[in-house]
């Protein structure tokens, strides 16, 4: 009901000169802007979809409609990130209206009024309606609330009636698209031969030995790669390297950091607040009124900062503590004691090894990899380092696997949550935990606790004074006025030891942030302007925390792929080809068993064994999953040995020791189901990509926003 309630609420010469000035001020942007007629550009096309040009006015009208609905529902104005998200929604709506609807119409797909009624107040309620008309406390859906709302709809303001009309339109579109995707899913067919092939790949087992010389055994610096070699490789593999429009910049920042006077003034203020907090009859209300940052009254260890977590151990009920400084914020706390809660929290880190699909072969491969990593950790390997390099959960991998504190209320998947909350001590859980996402290797870093701390908190952030901001701008302005070229930029940086050059490579035209710089759209738009040439220096850009001066160092063009666009990747590919040639030449003609050949080769050659592996789950100890090596091995007869060949990550000689063929079976239904489910799971993504590719979409929004 929360959404619906919000829909319901919610001298003559002098005068002439001034008037002309005001008019020019108000319309100057339209007359002289980069996309204006007088400014030299009258292109008002924001993009093209399936040959249909999208005019900026039409696009903005749709964005404005989304914004009105959003603000009516939320009761507040949007911030820039939310507005950017609505622009994406508006653009995607144009894609649906033009590219998708043609597909729908060709198939005769539609949603009738009767279907819509059934989705809104019938027997098959749409999830969107369920969410909108559910009690926020009990989460129970009330169909009568829908009926009553619709009965009174015509008495509501026209804006709210329009909002409901748009809401119903989105329900129709959602159902039509669902029909389309389900139709394609139902058309999925896996022939018996493919299912049989999958069965054989999973169940034919082999034992083999192999000689492996990895590319990394040859030092990179010993291999010289020329530009002509890179050009030749790119020319031969051009389809693999899709071009994009990007810009690379270097930049220096002039931080707007509070000065000592700013800090001293705030410190004095917060000491006064500490005295007020100590004597306040309603300490929570006092804290809320005076804090720059909304802070919860009741906290668990999971919601506390590391500094507060340590400090609270020494707190006595009724005491006021602080100020504590974290970054540019001072905190003071009034401690009110503890109580027990029905919900516990704990903290853990994990390494997730996910599978490419839900087939048994993929799961077996993922389990084998996870077991190998778990064994390494139990043998003393660093958990955080392995999380960073091996975990498929990229969000936590960047933090060494840390997922932070979480409650035992279903926030995490059930197997993961149960494993962590059943632990009685911190440390590694000595077994794999399987969930729908894959296999988890878990380290409990803080065991469960249901203690809640009552802390009235005030946080006051040091804000730089205008004098401080002016001084930072003066330095940036002085710098930019002294440089006009990249060479002068570099010389000025060398002279100013306080400046550090940062690099942002291959920034797309749609980017909003540049590295850690938030709201960097102005910099991106400058870099993509036609008159921004390579090695040209920008004006001073301002963000909330710093002034920035940038220099454009490189461009890439989607329609003209160059070696520099992929230099590092191409260099690795060509270098590995050269290494493969050198390793192969050194191994060629060697005779004897694998150990003899390895000994003749010298340092870098490894001889290893692999037991009971299959084509689907073959994992070679040092080489990892190498489909070329596996294919060669399974093509041998027992006792045969391959010649020297190049695999994915090195050069091999493989010897098949024995092979057990998959037993003959008559029913391949299980494997057909696996392959079907895997394909259906990717259907929505594949359909979306196919329709967008077919529509030949050109998105020029970044030139306007």
Which whole number is the average pLDDT over 305-325? 90
**CA–CA distance, 534 with 478 (Å, rounded to integer):** 22
What is the rounded CA–CA span in Å between residue 615 and residue 436? 24
More confident residue, 35 or 23: 35
Report pLDDT for 575. 95
The fraction of the chain above a pLDDT of 90, given in percent, is: 45
Residue 523: enclosing H or E segment and its boundaries?
helix 521-528
User: 552 pLDDT exceeds 50?
Assistant: yes
Per-residue pLDDT at 357: 66
| Strand, coil or helix: 678 | helix
What's the mean pLDDT in 192-211?
94
CA angle 581, 584, 590 (to 5 degrees): 155
The fold adopted by the segment(s) 258-463 is Chitinase A; domain 3 (3.10.50)
Distance CA 231, CA 111 (A): 53
For residue 182, the model assigns a pLDDT of: 87
What CA–CA distance (Å, rounded) separates 640 from 660? 15
- Residue 153 clears pLDDT 90, i.e. is over it: no
- Please say whether the beta carbons of 222 and 578 come within 8 A: no
Q: What is the pLDDT of residues 171-191, one digit of tens each?
A: 888 889 888 888 888 888 899
The pair phi, psi for residue 244, each rounded to 5°, is -140, 155
- 389: exposed, middle or buried (Cβ count in 10 Å: 0-12, 13-18, 19+): exposed
Q: Is the pLDDT of residue 635 over 60?
A: yes
The DSSP secondary-structure symbol of 664 reads P
Q: What is the pLDDT of residue 73?
A: 64
Predicted confidence (pLDDT) at residue 523 exceeds the cutoff of 70: yes
Please identify, in words, the CATH class of the domain defined by 205-242+567-660: alpha beta
* 107 has pLDDT over 50: yes
pLDDT grade, residue 583 (50/70/90)?
very high
Residue 165: is its pLDDT beyond 90?
no
Which among 346, 349, 345 has a CA at the least distance from the CA of 440?
349
| pLDDT of 34 | 43
Tokens for 558? 């989607």
Question: Mean pLDDT throughout 85-92?
Answer: 87
Residue 362 has pLDDT above 70, yes or no: yes
Per-residue pLDDT reduced to its tens digit, 417-431: 999 999 988 999 999
Q: What is the pLDDT of residue 579?
A: 96
In tens, the pLDDT along 120-130 reads: 888 888 888 88
- Decide if pLDDT at 33 tops 50: no
Length of the chain: 705
340: pLDDT strictly greater than 70: yes
Mean per-residue pLDDT for 617-631? 89
Among 623, 638, 573, 496, CA closest to 212: 623
Give the pLDDT score at 212: 95
**How does residue 24 score in pLDDT terms, banded at 50, 70 and 90?**
very low
- What's the pLDDT at 219? 92
Q: What is the pLDDT of residues 461-473, one digit of tens each?
A: 888 888 888 999 9
Residue 273 reports pLDDT greater than 70: yes
300 pLDDT above the threshold of 70 = yes
**Cβ–Cβ contacts within 10 Å for residue 439, how many?**
24
Q: What is the mean pLDDT of residues 76-89?
A: 82
> What gap in Å lies between CA 449 and CA 340, rounded to an integer?
9
Q: What is the pLDDT of residues 218-229, one digit of tens each?
A: 999 999 999 999
Residues 6+ apart with CB under 8 A from 376: 386
Mean pLDDT over 282-306 rounds to: 87
Domain ranges of the chain: 205-242+567-660, 246-257+465-560, 258-463
Q: What is the DSSP string of 554-586?
A: EEEBTTB--GGGGHHHHHHHHHHHHHHHHHHHH
Higher pLDDT, 14 or 116: 116
Q: Are 617 and 637 in contact (CB under 8 A)?
A: no
Are the C-beta atoms of residues 362 and 201 closer than 8 Å to each other?
no
Instruction: Output the CA–CA distances (angstroms, integers) from residue 470 to 125, 243, 255, in the order listed.
Output: 58, 42, 11
Q: What pLDDT does 23 receive? A: 34
| Share of residues in the chain with pLDDT > 70 (%) | 92
Asked whether this chain's domains 205-242+567-660 and 258-463 adopt the same fold, the reply is: yes
Instruction: Band the pLDDT of 348: cuts 50, 70, 90.
Output: very high
Q: Is 85 helix (H, G, I), strand (E, B) or coil?
A: helix
Q: What is the pLDDT of residues 527-549, one digit of tens each?
A: 999 899 999 999 999 987 899 99
pTM reported for the whole predicted model: 0.59
* Per-residue pLDDT at 397: 87
The pLDDT of residue 142: 82
Q: Is the pLDDT of residue 21 over 90?
A: no
Specify which residues 268 forms β-bridges with: none
Compute the Cα dihedral for 110, 115, 120, 126 and give only its sign: negative
Dig out the tokens for 275 from the structure. 């005295």
Q: Could you write out the DSSP letters of every residue in 142-210?
A: -HHHHHHHHHTGGGS-HHHHHHHHHHHHHHHHHHHHHHHHHHHHHT----HHHHHHHHHHHH-EEEEEE
pLDDT of residue 37: 35
Between CA 87 and CA 81 the distance in angstroms is: 10
Task: Check pLDDT > 70 for residue 87.
Answer: yes
Distance CA 305, CA 574 (A): 49
Q: Give the pLDDT score at 585.
A: 94
* Average pLDDT taken over every residue of the chain: 86
Beta bridge mates, 698: 48
Do residues 377 and 440 touch, judged by C-beta distance below 8 A? no
Q: Is the pLDDT of residue 8 over 80?
A: no
Tell me the pLDDT tens digit for each residue of 467-504: 888 999 999 999 999 999 999 999 999 999 889 999 99
Q: CA separation (Å) from 607 to 17, 604, 622?
A: 88, 10, 10
Region 110-114: what's the mean pLDDT? 91
């Amino acid at each position: 009901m929360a959404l619906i309630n919000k829909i319901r609420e919610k001298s003559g010469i002098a005068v002439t000169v001034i008037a002309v000035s005001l008019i020019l001020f108000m319309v100057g942007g339209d007359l002289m802007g980069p996309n204006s007629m007088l400014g030299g550009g009258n292109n008002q096309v924001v993009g093209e979809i399936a040959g249909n040009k999208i005019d900026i006015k039409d696009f903005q009208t749709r964005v404005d409609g989304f914004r009105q609905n959003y603000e009516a529902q939320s009761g507040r104005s949007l911030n820039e990130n939310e507005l950017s998200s609505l622009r994406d929604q508006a653009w995607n709506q144009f894609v649906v209206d033009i590219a998708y609807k043609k597909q729908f119409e060709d198939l005769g797909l539609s949603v009738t009024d009767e279907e819509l009624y059934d989705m809104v107040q019938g027997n098959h309620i749409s999830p969107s309606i369920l969410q909108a008309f559910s009690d926020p406390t009990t989460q129970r859906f009330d169909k009568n609330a829908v009926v009553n709302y619709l009965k009174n709809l015509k008495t509501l303001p026209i804006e709210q009636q329009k909002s409901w009309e748009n809401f119903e339109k989105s329900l129709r579109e959602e159902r039509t698209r669902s029909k389309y995707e389900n139709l394609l899913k139902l058309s999925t067919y896996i022939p018996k031969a493919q299912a049989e092939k999958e069965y054989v790949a999973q169940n034919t087992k082999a034992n083999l030995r192999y000689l492996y010389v990895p590319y990394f055994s040859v030092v990179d610096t010993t291999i010289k790669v020329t530009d002509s070699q890179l050009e030749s490789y790119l020319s031969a593999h051009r389809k693999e390297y899709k071009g994009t429009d990007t810009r690379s910049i270097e930049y220096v920042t002039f931080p707007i950091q509070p000065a000592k006077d700013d800090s001293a003034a705030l410190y004095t203020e917060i000491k006064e607040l500490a005295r007020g907090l100590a004597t306040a009859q309603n300490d929570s209300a006092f804290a809320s009124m005076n804090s720059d940052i909304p802070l919860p009254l009741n906290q668990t260890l999971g919601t506390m900062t590391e500094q507060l977590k340590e400090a609270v151990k020494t707190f006595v009920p009724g005491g006021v503590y602080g100020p504590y400084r974290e970054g540019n914020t001072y905190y003071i706390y009034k401690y009110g004691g503890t109580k027990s809660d029905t919900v516990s929290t704990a903290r853990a880190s994990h390494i997730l090894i996910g599978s490419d699909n839900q087939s048994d072969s993929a799961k077996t491969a993922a389990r084998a990899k996870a077991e190998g990593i778990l064994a390494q950790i139990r043998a003393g390997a660093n958990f955080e380092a392995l999380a960073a390099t091996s975990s498929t959960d990229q969000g936590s991998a960047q933090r060494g696997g840390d997922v932070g504190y979480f409650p035992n209320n279903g926030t995490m998947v059930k197997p993961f949550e149960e494993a962590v909350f059943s632990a009685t001590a911190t440390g590694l859980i000595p077994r794999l935990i399987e969930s729908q996402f894959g296999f988890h290797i878990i380290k409990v870093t803080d065991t469960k606790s249901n203690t809640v701390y009552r802390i009235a908190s005030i946080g006051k952030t040091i804000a730089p004074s205008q004098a401080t901001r002016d001084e930072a701008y003066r330095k940036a302005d002085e710098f930019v006025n002294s440089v006009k070229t990249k060479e002068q930029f570099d010389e000025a940086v060398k002279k100013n030891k306080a400046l550090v050059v940062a690099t942002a490579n291959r920034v797309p035209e749609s980017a909003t942030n540049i590295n850690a710089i938030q709201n960097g759209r102005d910099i991106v738009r400058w870099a993509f302007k036609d008159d921004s040439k390579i090695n040209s220096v920008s004006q001073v850009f301002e963000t909330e925390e710093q002034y920035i001066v940038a220099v454009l160092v490189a461009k890439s063009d989607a329609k003209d792929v160059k070696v520099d666009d992929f230099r590092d990747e191409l260099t690795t590919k060509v270098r590995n080809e050269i290494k493969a040639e050198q390793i192969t030449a050194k191994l060629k003609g060697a005779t004897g068993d694998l150990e003899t050949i390895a000994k003749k080769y010298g340092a870098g050659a490894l001889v290893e064994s692999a037991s009971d592996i299959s084509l689907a789950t073959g994992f070679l100890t040092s080489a990892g999953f190498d489909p070329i090596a596996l294919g060669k091995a399974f093509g041998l007869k027992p006792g045969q040995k391959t010649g020297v060949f190049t695999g994915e990550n090195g050069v091999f000689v493989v010897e098949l020791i024995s092979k057990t063929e998959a037993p003959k079976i008559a029913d391949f239904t299980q494997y057909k189901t696996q392959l079907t489910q895997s394909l259906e799971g990717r259907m929505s993504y594949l359909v979306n990509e196919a329709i967008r590719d077919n529509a030949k979409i050109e998105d020029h929004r970044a030139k306007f926003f």
